[in-house]
Homo-oligomer: A and B are copies of this chain.
Amino acid sequence: MNFCSDNTAGAHPKILAALSAANGGSAMPYGNDELTKRVEQKIAKIFERECAVFLVGTGTSANALALAALAPNYGVVYCHPESHVNMDECGAPEFFTGGAKLAGIPGAHGKIAAADLDRAIKAGGIGVVHHSQPAAVSLTQATEAGTVYRPAEIAAIASAAHAHGLMVHMDGARFANALVQVGCTPAEMTWRAGIDALSFGATKNGAFAAEAVVFFDPDRARSFGYRRKRAGHLWSKMRFLAAQLDAYLEGDLWLENARHANRLAAELARGLSAIKAVRLEHPVEANELFVTLPETVIRGLEADGFRFYRWMDDSSTTPRLVTSFETDPAHVAAFIASARRHAAAAA
């Protein structure tokens, strides 16, 4: 009964089947195959416009390669201090950009506010050679706090960024989870709101290892192919990366997977908030919860076989609980029951 992360899940059977189906005969390598082209077209269709699409195997590479295409080495990338790009990639954006700075814009519930971004950019010394230059902003959707930006919020941020010539990146490792929550179209969530480049995640939501970087202005992507290759992220047997995304995007599998994960997260939130002495730290809008519990309850849950991370460190009494496309509803029910029982015992 593992609530550690959505990456402890396996791959969806349909995606495994697609990999198997892609395995017949020979195919040209490095993306010069039919499946890759088909995926590119599917993504263009989903986003309702021409776009430049690049497949890679990991979310960190998607983010870092995208940022390297948007920011020069003397640039500043604004992001939430707790964002994955800033905290959990061991400096990948710094590496890929050649030493750009990531500047944290704090904000409640994992979100950046447009006004704070605007203020930071204005204080950033545009045109002054002594300072790294404001170049891009990176939003995480859904955020690391399990919350979701609405299109209007994104538009406000993008507008602040564009007003000063900055580009806007969205880390969509949990893009599907955000999308089904908001109920808008992929286009409304991205380029119509001002997003320039998207890390479109599939790994956490049912793939083995598959992400796409999407540039809504293909001109911005001119150097991307070289950067991907020189970073070792161009798969030779690319059809196997493409096959995952092809199945992922077929017949709404990606949305169904996200709906399942979100629904169980909501259920968990509902069940736990009914318990006195339990506090939800953030609104539950995707597939993550941050729940403060009495230490004895946490130990009881651990003893009952539930696995999760205490956030942000081992002595914390706020476990993070993550659901995925394959989380068993029975595990959710069992978790709530266990928490209730231990809370009652402690009271």
Q: Which residue of B lies closest to A128 (CB)?
A: B90
Distance of A24 Cα from B208 Cα, bound (Å): 12
Complex-state Cα separation, A62 to B231, whole angstroms: 11
| Size bracket of the A interface | 35 or more
A311 at the B interface (CB under 8 A) = no
Chain B residue numbers with a CB within 8 Å of A95 are 73, 98-99, 230-231
Using CB atoms, name the residue of chain B closest to A93: B99
Which of A157-165, A219-227, A293-301 binds B? A219-227
- Spot the interface stretch: A145-153, A175-183, A236-244, A245-253: A236-244
The chain B residue sitting closest to A68, CB to CB, is B73
CB-CB contacts of A158-174 with B at 8 A, as 1s and 0s?
Answer: 00000000000000000
Instruction: Identify which of A7-15, A44-52, A265-273 touches chain B.
Output: A7-15
Q: Is A209 an interface residue (CB 8 A)?
A: yes
Check B100 against A236 for contact (C-beta < 8 Å). no
Contact A223 B74 (CB under 8 A): yes
Q: Judging by beta carbons under 8 Å apart, are B229 and A57 in contact?
A: no
What is the minimal beta-carbon distance from A96 to any residue of chain B, in angstroms? Answer: 8
Inter-chain contacts of A227 with B (CB < 8 A):
74
Task: Give Cα A176–Cα B289 distance, bound, in whole angstroms.
Answer: 47
Given contacts A4-B28, A230-B89, A232-B60, contact A237 B20 (CB under 8 A): no
Tell which of B10, B87, B229, B241 touches A209, judged by Cβ atoms closer than 8 Å. Answer: B241
B26 near A90 with CB under 8 A, answer no
The answer to whether B226 and A129 have CB atoms under 8 Å apart is yes
B7 in contact with A29 (CB, 8 Å) = yes
Complex CA–CA separation, A96 to B96 (angstroms): 9
Interface flag for A204 (CB, 8 Å): yes
Is A112 part of the binding interface, using a Cβ–Cβ cutoff of 8 Å?
no
Determine whether the beta carbon of B229 is less than 8 Å from that of A231. no
Give me 12 other A-B pairs in contact (C-beta within 8 A), A92-B230, A231-B232 excluded.
A5-B29, A11-B237, A19-B19, A62-B232, A73-B230, A74-B223, A74-B230, A89-B130, A95-B231, A129-B228, A208-B240, A209-B237
| Interface, chain A (partner B; CB < 8 A) | 2, 4-5, 7-11, 13, 16, 19-20, 22-30, 56-65, 72-74, 87-92, 94-102, 123, 129-133, 203-204, 208-209, 223, 225-237, 239-241, 312-313
